[in-house]
Structure 1
Amino acid sequence: MLLNGILPLLIAYWPIVLISSLAAFLLSNKFWKGLNRYPGHWLAGYTNWWRFFDVWGRAHQWTLIRLHREHGDVVRLGPNVLSFGDPKAIKVIYGLNKGMVKSDFYPVQQAVSKGQRLPSLFSTVDEEYHAKYRRCVNSAFAMSSLVNYEPLVSSTLGVFLDKTQEVYASTGRMCNFSQWLQFFAFDVIGDLTWSKRLGFVEENRDVDGIIAFLNSFLSYAGPIGQMPTLDLLLEKNPIRLFAQRIGLSNAVFPVTLFAQTRSAERFSSIQKIKAFGLPEDEANPRGVDLLSKFAQATHDHPEFMNDTQILTSCVSMVFAGSETTAISLSSIFYFLLKHPRVYRNLMRELDEAVATGAIEARENKTVSWAEAQKLPYLDAVIQESFRLHPAAGLILERIVPAQGMDILGDFIPGGTIVGCNAWILHRRPEVFGADVDVFRPERWIEADPAQLKEMKATMFQFGAGARTCIGRNVSLLEVYKLVPSFLRRFEIELEHPEKEWKTHNAWFVRHSEFNTRFRPREVPLSQ
């Protein structure tokens, strides 16, 4: 009876009912658990659609910088999303045993194989699963393992330098430097993971369209991650995944297929390692690759590490191991070319190091990891590039535990998504100086020990806490070897010095229109 009386009213006044319901929903968002006390864009408190469209605009990092400079240390980005700009929030949000878990932003980036998600160390939101997984593979990424990987990086580096000479320096051709560096990063990942370059550099092309796929996928994941339920309607549609599981659809992520194909080429040797472990008495001058280390982890932890985890680990190397490193390399070279004084100072340091024997005068002009560690100005240039252009352009989201918690004197209710963004943290004047928007490597040399410690603690390009990027040491190995080696071998010029490059924040802030020309470098007579 009650329904019979209400239904005609709802039909008769449906516009009013609809508008009233929408208004109630928006107001509920606005005042959700008292978060209306935090400033931000006026639309952010009402709906996540504001955040979605701002990220879709590919310049979200600049929006965040403007909002934090206008409103202060805490900015509201959505009905239940807060961005923290104070570096002291890092330990609170990302510290150990804080009860924080990753948000649903991360599973959007999971690869798929045969209808099954492949949760990686990066994309899983299950902290127990992450802890077990990390214990299995941690040794493969430890700093002590770099000695095993350097021969593999050196192998690709030599080919990259020679190919640069052949294709660009000797012909005068213009180079899309960002893409060329990404080709290098991909071939390094091939050598590190499968002991085989994948052909990006030798063939000077995007093998199997993997880079194009990654660019497209990250451009999807960035904005969709702001409203993860959209992913369940699109890429991770349950019906679509079910069709793959029962064989009605053969769709597979190209990156997954790429990793499966590369790993299948090593099937027999990997099976032996899984069964018997890596031979301890067998020297390998080229180093032990990551696929072998992952197989060793299966031998050591058969209760957890299986073929799916091996595949997931390889896919993760392709997903994250190339994009972020290529972005970092591009940034370093771009800032050098835009600041000739810094370029000259760095070249002076390199030349003096060769003259004094700190760098061995190799025929191909490469620089070893150990040698690069002795170059303070090189380190300052790299750190300053990391500071001004960190790869990740969105906040690293975490969910406040149900009981709520205190973050820098404010009680934040449970269920709130909180996070920090490296683009904000790296521009704190009280940490880095008043000229935070200026590329000035000298700040890393001039700082006293206490200030330097604070600066390093604020750097967030690899994240922080238990979820710090596990591949950071591998990335640093590539960066510290390639930059000085390339600079010793070639002189670099911008094709259009008057132009600024373009950035595209697709979760990782990549670049375009970074065009250069190279010529063989004339070594000073003192060498």
Structure 2
Amino acid sequence: MLLNEVLPLLVRYWPLVLVSGVIAHLVSNKYWKGLNKFPGHWLAAYTNWWRFWNVWGRQHEWTIIQLHREHGDVVRLGPNVLSFADPKAIKIIYGLNKGMTKSDFYPVQNAVSKGRRLQSLFSTTDEEYHAKYRRCVNNAFAMSSLVNYEPLVSSTLDFFLDETEKSYAKTGAICSFSQWLQYFAFDVIGDLTWSKRLGFVEGQRDVDGIIGFLNKFLSYAGPIGQIPTLDLLLEKNPIRLWMQRIGLNNTVFPVTLFAQTRSNERAGEIAKIKSYGLPDDVSNPRGVDLLSKFAQAAHDHPDFMTDTQVLTSCVSMVFAGSETTAISLSSVFYFLLKHPAVYAKLMQELDDAVAHGTIEPRANKTVSWAESQKLPYLDAVIQESFRLHPAAGLILERIVPNQGMDVLGTFVPGGTIVGCNAWVLHRRPEVFGADVDVFRPERWIEASGAQQKEMRGTMFQFGAGARTCIGKNVSLLEVYKLVPSFLRRFEIELDRPDREWKTHNAWFVRQSEFYTRFRPRTKSQ
């Protein structure tokens, strides 16, 4: 038989067969679906290991900016991956009813409970599941709900400002500001989700080591997401998950345990809401928290919103609710401190707003959400910070439908992974001006109405389309309240003005070595 003749040859010449197979695989990758016509790093055409190692290097955002500046609007990041830099591609790739689905990059970030993946709004690739889930919880994150959440944010904000004064402003101690802001963001998530600060600010510590875990997990998810099958060998190994389901492996995913523990403290109350709904005749001056709203969603949609979805929603708040907000807050303060003229101009706006009655002269110097929306230069500073340092540092991957599609005159075959990167989009000279690498908030003031619309339409820090970050409004509430309140309360200076911070692209581009000192601000400067 043929097999009997071929097998000895394969055994005898196996090194040659192996090398030939690898070469054939690499050549096939390069010419896959005709994507060889798109430029990029030469290794990217042959293997996904190039982007794996590049993301592992933690500076991928600068790599992709450079690639697009060198090669143009379409760059190949892998054998089956294209990055688009033209802002017009946003509506095509992320627009409604385009048939795009999320890639396998996202399930890598699933939390796990009892051996089963928890599909969140962010991580699910099932568009029908996402649509049902979003309908259940959409009201909890609507802009109209901000009125309900502001008392909860204000509660933590007041405490945070007092602790900053006691621990840093009065002592002159050096503050690791990015870490301190993450403690604030985590305590806000606690108040918003469970009506209870979690103890990060009060204890000045990483409660249950959850921040350390998230840092490690996201550092894992970023590069592993470039070759998602690796996750099936490592964290989501089917044998390992099966052992958890039958009780042979009692390992508990830390974020799941963290959220479950805090939710269990209110199990009786939540069970009543699930059964009877939120009472209409009881007013809560501190606002209705998210756990209560998730339970209300379970009451309204019992066939879909199960205990698993309620837990998953709480887990999502821990996962995404603190990291991105802390990154955004650090960016605002860092850029202000690196640009003293901008800092002085913003302080003048805040002082004038108090003098003219736009901001109420509260004893604790806090600023409300409504007041913050009347401060154009504050808005310009925050938008410019979002522009120069968006939280997400990788492309937001989508899979082209089977029939393929035209993206700005380029036909992309079905099954190809495409996406945009916020760091690239936010540096388009035709949208933001020639000085795109410069922190200049004035560009948001000087722009005409049409330019403003185009600039805001290009901003991609929260994603776009149906899968836009559902917690966007909550994050904005925190940023627009904390920044002016903190600036009115304290003078801030860098501990070492000549030193730059360090960044680490672990999917989200977090900052470190951002050290500051504070002094109580007693008068206008």
Normalising by structure 2, we get a TM-score of: 1.00
1:386-421 per-position Cα deviation (integer Å, ceiling 9, x unaligned): 000000000000000011000000110000000000
Aligned partner of 2:212 in structure 1 is 212
The CA deviation at 1:250 is 1.0
Q: Which amino acid in 2 is paired with 1:56? A: W
Deviation at 1:16, TM superposition (A): 1.3
The aligned runs of 1:310-459 (5 Å cut-off) are 310-459=310-459
Q: Structure 1 residue 524: deviation in Å?
A: 2.8
Aligned to 1:488: 488
Measured after TM superposition, the shift of residue 129 of structure 1 is 0.2
Alpha-carbon distance, 1:249 to partner: 1.0
Q: CA deviation at 1:486?
A: 0.2
Provide the C-alpha distance between the structure 1 equivalents of 2:124 and 2:32, rounded to a whole number of angstroms: 27
Name the structure 2 match of 1:289. 289
CA distance, structure 2, for counterparts of residue 2 and residue 100 of structure 1: 46
Alignment deviations for residues 6-30 of structure 1 (CA, whole Å, 9 cap, x no partner) = 1121122122111111100000000
Q: How does 1:52-451 map to 2 (within 5 A)?
A: 52-451=52-451
| Larger mean Cα displacement after TM superposition, 452-461 or 11-20 | 11-20
Q: Work out the CA distance in 1 between the residues paired with 2:359 and 2:174.
A: 30
Which amino acid is 1:33 matched to?
K
Distance 2:455 2:390 in 1: 14
- Per-residue CA deviations over 1:132-190 (Å, capped at 9, x if unaligned) read 00000000000000000000000000000000001111111000000000000000000
CA distance in 2, matches of 1:265, 1:306: 18
1:300 is displaced (CA, Å) by 0.5
d(CA) in 1 for partners of 2:207 and 2:186?
A: 10
For 2:8 and 2:128, locate their aligned partners in 1 and report how far apart those are by CA, in whole Å.
53
- CA distance in 1 between partners of 2:463 and 2:394 (Å): 11
Question: Could you list the per-position Cα deviations for residues 193-224 of structure 1 after superposition, in whole angstroms to 9, with x for gaps in the alignment?
Answer: 00000000000000000000000000000000
Cα distance in 2 for residues equivalent to 1:522 and 1:271: 49
Moved over 6 A (4+): none
SS of the counterpart of 2:470?
A: coil
Q: CA RMSD in A?
A: 0.6
CA distance in 2, matches of 1:253, 1:16: 45
Amino acid at match of 1:144: S
- Distance in 2 (alpha carbons) for counterparts of 1:15 and 1:268: 65
Are residue 460 (structure 1) and residue 460 (structure 2) matched? yes
Partner of 1:503: 503
Q: Distance in 1 between matches of 2:248 and 2:389?
A: 44
One-letter amino acid of the counterpart of residue 10, structure 1: L
Residue correspondences, number: 525
3-state SS of paired residue (1:505): strand
CA distance in 2, matches of 1:228, 1:360: 52
Q: How many Å separate the matches in 2 of 1:20 and 1:143?
A: 58
CA distance in 1: counterparts of 2:519 and 2:257, whole angstroms? 38
- Tell me the CA shift for residue 67 of structure 1: 0.1
Long gaps (5+) in structure 1 = none
TM-score (norm 1): 0.99
SS at match of 2:496: coil
Unpaired runs of 5+ in structure 2?
A: none
Q: CA deviation at 1:523?
A: 1.5
Note the C-alpha offset of 1:347.
0.2
Secondary structure of 1:406's aligned partner: strand
Deviations 1:343-395 (A, max 9, x none): 00000000000111110010100000000000000000000000000000000
